[in-house]
Structure 1
Amino acid sequence: MLGWQYQQSTPTVQCIVEEALTRITKLERKDLLLVGAGRTDAGVHAWGQVAHFITPFNYDNLKGVHKALNGLLPSDIRVREISSTVPEFHARFSVKSKIYHYKIYNDTIMDPFHRNYAYHSIYKLNVATMRDAARHFVGKHDFSAFANTSRNDRVPNPVKNIFHFNVNEMGPLVQLEVEGSGFLYRQVRNMVALLLQVGREAVPPDIVPRILGSRDRKELAKYSLSVPPHGLCLLVVKYNEEHLGLPPGGPETSFGRNHSISKCKLPSF
Structure 2
Amino acid sequence: MPGVAHFVTPFTYDSLESLHAAVNGLLPREIRVREISPTCPEFHARFSTKSKIYHYKIYNHAIMDPFQCQYAYHSVYKLNPEVMREAALHFVGKHDFSSFANASHNDRSPNPVKEIFRFDVVEMGHMLQLEVDGTGFLFRQVRNMVALLLQIGREALPPDIIPEILAARDRRALARYALSAPPHGLCLMSINYDTELLKPPAGSPAISFGRIHTVSKCKLPFY
TM-score by length of 2: 0.90
2:91 is the alignment partner of 1:117:
no
Cα deviation digits, residues 126-166 of structure 1 (max 9, x gap): 11111111111011101111111223462211111111111
Structure 1 unaligned blocks of 5 or more: 1-46, 259-269
Q: What amino acid sits opposite 1:99 in the alignment?
A: I
Query: How is 1:159-178 mapped onto 2 (pairs within 5 angstroms)?
Result: 159-178=113-132
Query: How is 1:243-258 mapped onto 2 (pairs within 5 angstroms)?
Result: 243-257=197-211
Query: How is 1:1-269 mapped onto 2 (pairs within 5 angstroms)?
Result: 47-152=1-106, 154-257=108-211
4+ residue runs over 3 A deviation? none
Give me the whole-angstrom Cα distance separating, in 2, the residues matched to 1:167 and 1:153.
29
Q: What amino acid sits opposite 1:50 in the alignment?
A: V
Shift of 1:246: 1.7
SS at match of 1:166: strand
Identify if the C-alpha distance between structure 1 residues 257 and 114 changes in structure 2 by more than 3 Å, giving closer, same or farther: farther
* Aligned residue number for residue 262 of structure 1: none
Number of positions where the alignment pairs a residue of Structure 1 with one of Structure 2: 212
Cα deviation digits, residues 1-27 of structure 1 (max 9, x gap): xxxxxxxxxxxxxxxxxxxxxxxxxxx
Identity %: 69
Higher relative contact order by CA 8 Å / sep ≥ 6: 1 or 2?
Answer: 2
SS at match of 1:113: coil
Cα deviation digits, residues 12-52 of structure 1 (max 9, x gap): xxxxxxxxxxxxxxxxxxxxxxxxxxxxxxxxxxx221110
TM-score by length of 1: 0.75
Shift of 1:197: 0.8
* Aligned residue number for residue 219 of structure 2: none
SS at match of 2:67: helix
**Which of these two proteins has the greater Rg computed from alpha carbons?**
2
* Aligned residue number for residue 34 of structure 1: none
Give me the whole-angstrom Cα distance separating, in 1, the residues matched to 2:46 and 2:107.
18
Give me the whole-angstrom Cα distance separating, in 2, the residues matched to 1:160 and 1:253.
33
Identify if the C-alpha distance between structure 1 residues 153 and 184 changes in structure 2 by more than 3 Å, giving closer, same or farther: closer
